Structures are given as C-alpha cells and as structure tokens.
C-alpha cells in the first residue's frame, strides 16, 4: 500500500472518530437537555446529574486512565485563588443588583423564610451539584472532546455554551444567563489550573451565593417542582 493511500485511510479514520464524538456530544449535551425541557423525558435533575458524573468518572478512569484524586489538586499558584475571590467579590454585588431589578421580593427570601432549608442547600450544594457539574462539564468534557474543540478558546466557548444550554431545564432566562457567565469563569479556571478541586470551590461559591441572595425561585423551586 502506497503512502498517499495509507494517509487517506488514516484521515478517514480520524474523521470518523470525530463524527462519532460530535454525535455523542450532541446527544448528551444538546438532545438530552432539550428533550427534558420539552417534557419528552422525565427530569430528576440531581439523580441524573449524579448518574452522569458517575459515568464520566468511569470513562475518565478506565478509558483515559485519569483518577479523580489526580484531578483534585488544591496546589495551584496563589494568584489563581486571588483572581477567583476578586472576581467573586465583583460578581456578588452585580447579582444582588440584578435580582433587585427583576424580583426584589425574592431578596434573601430562602435564608429569611426557610433558614433550615437554606443551610441544607449551602452544605449540600458543593457535593450534590457543584462537584458533579464540574466533573461532567470540565474534567470529562475537556478530556473527551479535545479532538473536536482543541484546548483554547474553542473549548472554553463549547463548555460555556453547553453548560448554559443545560439550564433550559429550568425554563427561565435568568438561570441561563447566570450559568452562561459562570460557565465562562469555570471553564477558564479549569484551563489555567487543570484542577477539579479549584473549579468546584469556585462553582460552589457562586452557587451558594445565588441561593443566599434569593435566586432560588429560578433554580431551587424549579428543581423541587420536578419531584412533586
């Protein structure tokens, strides 16, 4: 077999693998949320998220030989932690101002009216939501779909867009808008640190802040309604 023919076959093989990856990505991160939002499939947000996280961790472990303990590295440059907390301190007043404009009666409502539930959410969010989302949309997504989106801004945009798109399950533009901004921050942090631990901390800061400020009606209420 001559070299040009061999090269053509290699390119076709690579093209076929990319097509399969693209179809898989579309099914998991586009068709799945779209079907859920349209009511074509039952939605149990937390159980489905945990199952996805489990599946993604198994793929990382057995296919890519990446162990979760290797991703949970807390040792990153001090400047990264400073950047995360500075961004957070800037974002919180913006989140407060936005909620004041669109639904002032919801300000700090969960914390004031249902303190026990608020404490439960604050303690459970990092484990049941922040960590599994970062495992799926950062650790797994970046490793699995690198052949499609590369390692630069293409990957950032893809992760951010699909993370935001998943929030159509909540049927409101606020959830999509907040997750769009959060997705950008978390994706860039993961690219800089390669640490699932750091992105989980960052994600959890914003998630707990959102519920504390009063964005529960856009996330928590919708989630609980799915169980009723």
pLDDT of residue 228: 38
Q: Can you list the positions of beta strands (E) in 116-214?
A: none
Number of domains in the chain: 1
- Judge whether 1 lies within some domain: no
Q: How far is CA 63 from the centre of its chain?
A: 22
Cβ-based burial of 193 (10 A; exposed 0-12, middle 13-18, buried ≥19) = buried
- Judge whether 15 lies within some domain: no
- Judge whether 220 lies within some domain: yes
- One digit per residue, the tens of pLDDT, for the chain of length 228 reads 554 544 445 454 677 789 999 999 999 999 999 988 887 555 678 888 999 999 999 999 999 999 988 899 888 888 999 999 999 999 999 999 999 999 999 999 999 999 999 999 999 999 999 999 999 999 999 999 999 999 999 999 999 999 999 999 888 999 999 999 999 999 999 999 999 999 999 999 999 999 999 998 898 654 444 333
The H or E element containing residue 46 is helix 45-62
- Judge whether 30 lies within some domain: no
Distance CA 159, CA 51 (A): 19
Cβ proximity of 72 and 57 under 8 Å: no
- Judge whether 58 lies within some domain: no
pLDDT of residue 42: 54
- Judge whether 69 lies within some domain: no
Cα end-to-end distance, the chain, whole Å: 64
Name the nearest CA neighbour of 15 among 23, 161, 26, 3. Answer: 23
Question: Domain of 114?
Answer: 76-228
- Judge whether 33 lies within some domain: no
How many Cα atoms sit within 13 Å of 144 on the Cβ side? 27
Distance CA 33, CA 45 (A): 10
Cβ proximity of 142 and 190 under 8 Å: yes
- Judge whether 188 lies within some domain: yes
């Amino acid at each position: 077999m001559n070299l040009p023919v061999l090269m053509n076959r290699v390119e076709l093989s690579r093209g076929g693998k990319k097509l399969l990856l693209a179809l898989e990505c579309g099914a998991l991160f586009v068709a799945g949320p779209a079907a859920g939002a349209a009511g074509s499939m039952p939605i149990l947000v937390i159980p489905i998220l945990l199952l996805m996280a489990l599946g993604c961790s198994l793929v990382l472990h057995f296919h890519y030989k990446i162990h979760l303990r290797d991703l949970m590295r807390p040792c990153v440059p001090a400047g990264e932690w400073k950047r995360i907390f500075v961004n957070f301190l800037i974002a919180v007043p913006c989140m407060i101002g936005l909620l004041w404009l669109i639904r002032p009666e919801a300000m700090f409502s969960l914390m004031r009216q249902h303190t026990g539930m608020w404490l439960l959410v604050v303690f459970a969010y990092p484990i049941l939501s922040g960590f599994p989302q970062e495992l799926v949309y950062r650790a797994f997504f970046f490793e699995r779909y690198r052949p499609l989106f590369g390692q630069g801004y293409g990957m950032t945009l893809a992760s951010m867009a699909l993370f935001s798109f998943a929030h159509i399950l909540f049927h409101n533009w606020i959830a999509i808008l907040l997750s769009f901004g959060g997705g950008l921050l978390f994706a860039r942090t993961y690219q800089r640190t390669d640490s699932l631990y750091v992105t989980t901390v960052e994600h959890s800061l914003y998630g707990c802040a959102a519920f504390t400020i009063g964005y529960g009606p856009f996330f928590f209420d919708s989630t609980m309604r799915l169980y009723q």
